[in-house]
Structure 1
């Protein structure tokens, strides 16, 4: 089986970022990378804020945030009136959980592909309310039909108060059939929270077509926005029940203002987020998506080959559109979260390469991403240097 060819670099794209050229940044999915133009836009907003803080916060800021929200909601195909800006997807999840009014007989159902911080948030809310958390195992190679059936079988109408699923998982780069899962859950009267942290910018999506009760997505990962930029989309029947984690002066204004207004927080990341979307569109949204997915697939193959992983054993749970790929590590490596973090740091220090190392279901996985600032030779160098490093451990 031949190795897939890498895409042609997008001319000039690498120069849009201020990343350290001495490091290979192959882990865009964790914290993203902010283009220089977006950094400068945010700095101009900070300069405006510091020139006259009272005017910045009291004269039109609520309207400016609302205008930004409408722009970003349009980008993801969401209802602007049902969209609120939040700092990150995990914050949006916490807002939803504490707004549900859980009781001791309730349960929250999630899958074993969920993001670690989201799982911790669920556990905390269950401890606080007496509710129960139940985790549904889903095999990495399960078909979409098998995933939907597993969810259908796991639902407990009358007890399952919320189903939490990922649209695209962080730990396993698995793309779930979100709309089909939502439809099945709604047949049983169960509301659904979709964690789509990696979706905005990477994948084409229309949030309204998914039909979820709650949908959260980060803009700072694949949409080139400054960090602390994300959206929470809420279905109409839930909006009056959404409460902020901290009450401030827009509390009586209702959703989404009551959620967005948090007094003296730094709003410049939100206000500069449309510049990130503009940058993505300037490069060509579809062009960037195709480039990144193809580059990640190339990186997976060359590194996988170097580690002795047969091509048929390289998972592709996200499909050809996903710009994150997994490579199984030797069985003894990264079998715990702490071991995975230690190995990730070791690779960064010894190979000057930033990757994600995951521990999922007792197995270590290397997650590689593709972005417009990456080049094929970065994955090729990793393929040469990684096997002897792993052999030492």
Structure 2
């Protein structure tokens, strides 16, 4: 089988970012990259804030945040009245968890593809309330139908108070059948939190199509917003129960404002987020999605070939729009969290390439992303140099 051809670059896209050109930035899914136009928009807002802080915070800021929320909700296909801005997916998940009023004997069900910080948040809430968490193992090669059956069999109506699933998993770059999983949980009366950290900007599916009780996604990854910009979308029957992690002066205003307003936070990133969407739309949303997914697929094949991984052993992401791909590392390499961090640092220091390395279920994986600022030769260089680094031990 031949390596797929890389996509044609989007003219001028690379110049929209201020990334260090001496480094191959192949891990957009970690912290994203903020376009220069968005950086400048946020700086103008910061200048406005510092010119007169009292005016900035007390005259119309709540309305400006609400306007931004409506704009972002429209892009995501979400109900603006059920949408609230939060700092990131982990913060949004924590808001949901502490609003559930869990009791001893209640349980939260997750899968072993979940994001580590969300898992820690679940563990803390269980320790605080006496609830328990249960993790469902899902094989990396499981079909959508198999994933649905694993979850169906893993729920316990009456005891399971929340199912947490990922729309696109972080450690394994796997697209889960979110809508089907929500439907299965609803049949059993179990509410669902969808961790959609990587969905906004990458995946075409809308929030409404998932139908979840809670949906939380970052806009600072694939939607070009400043970091610290995410939305939590809550179904109508839950909105009055949602409480902020910290009470502030808008507490009596109800959801969603009481979650958003946290006094002297720097709100300029949220207010600049629509400029990120403007940048994405200017490039062409569908064009960017197709480019990024094709580039990630190219990178997976060339690096996989260099490591001697047969094409049929390269994990499939589960959908054509996924711009993150996995490459299995040799057995024994980066198989633990500490080893993965050390190996990622070695790649960054010696190969001038930023990638994601995850130790998942005793096996190390390299995760590659595709973004408009990447070029095929960056993956080619990694493919040439990575085997030598591995041989050095």
- TM-score scaled by structure 2? 1.00
Q: Distance in 2 between matches of 1:389 and 1:210?
A: 42
Aligned residue number for residue 284 of structure 1: 284
Aligned residue number for residue 131 of structure 1: 131
Q: Distance in 2 between matches of 1:258 and 1:318?
A: 37
Secondary structure at the aligned position of 1:175 is classed as coil
| Number of aligned residue pairs | 393
Matched, 1:181 2:181: yes
Q: Distance in 2 between matches of 1:320 and 1:233?
A: 25
Aligned residue number for residue 369 of structure 2: 369
The offset of 1:300, in angstroms, is 0.3
Secondary structure at the aligned position of 1:11 is classed as coil
Aligned residue number for residue 224 of structure 2: 224
Is the CA contact (8 Å cut-off) linking 1:191 and 1:213 kept in structure 2?
yes
Secondary structure at the aligned position of 2:44 is classed as helix
For residues 335-354 of structure 1, what are the structure 2 equivalents within 5 Å? 335-354=335-354
Aligned residue number for residue 360 of structure 1: 360
The offset of 1:210, in angstroms, is 1.2
Q: Distance in 2 between matches of 1:26 and 1:317?
A: 17
Q: Distance in 1 between matches of 2:281 and 2:319?
A: 23
Deviation sequence 1:261-316 (CA, Å, 0-9, x none):
00000000000000000000000000000000000000000000000000000011
Aligned residue number for residue 166 of structure 2: 166
Is the CA contact (8 Å cut-off) linking 1:168 and 1:318 kept in structure 2?
no
Q: Distance in 2 between matches of 1:100 and 1:189?
A: 15
The offset of 1:208, in angstroms, is 1.2
Aligned residue number for residue 9 of structure 1: 9
For residues 198-209 of structure 1, what are the structure 2 equivalents within 5 Å? 198-209=198-209
Aligned residue number for residue 268 of structure 1: 268
Q: Distance in 1 between matches of 2:202 and 2:319?
A: 13
The offset of 1:327, in angstroms, is 0.2
Deviation sequence 1:178-229 (CA, Å, 0-9, x none):
0110011011000000000000000112111211000000000000000000
Aligned-pair Cα RMSD in Å = 0.5
Aligned residue number for residue 43 of structure 1: 43
Structure 2: gaps (5+ residues): none
Matched, 1:56 2:56: yes
The offset of 1:320, in angstroms, is 2.1
Q: Distance in 2 between matches of 1:181 and 1:142?
A: 14
- TM-score scaled by structure 1? 1.00
Q: Distance in 2 between matches of 1:203 and 1:160?
A: 29
Secondary structure at the aligned position of 1:303 is classed as helix
Is the CA contact (8 Å cut-off) linking 1:325 and 1:369 kept in structure 2?
yes
Structure 1: gaps (5+ residues): none
Secondary structure at the aligned position of 2:110 is classed as strand
Matched, 1:119 2:115: no
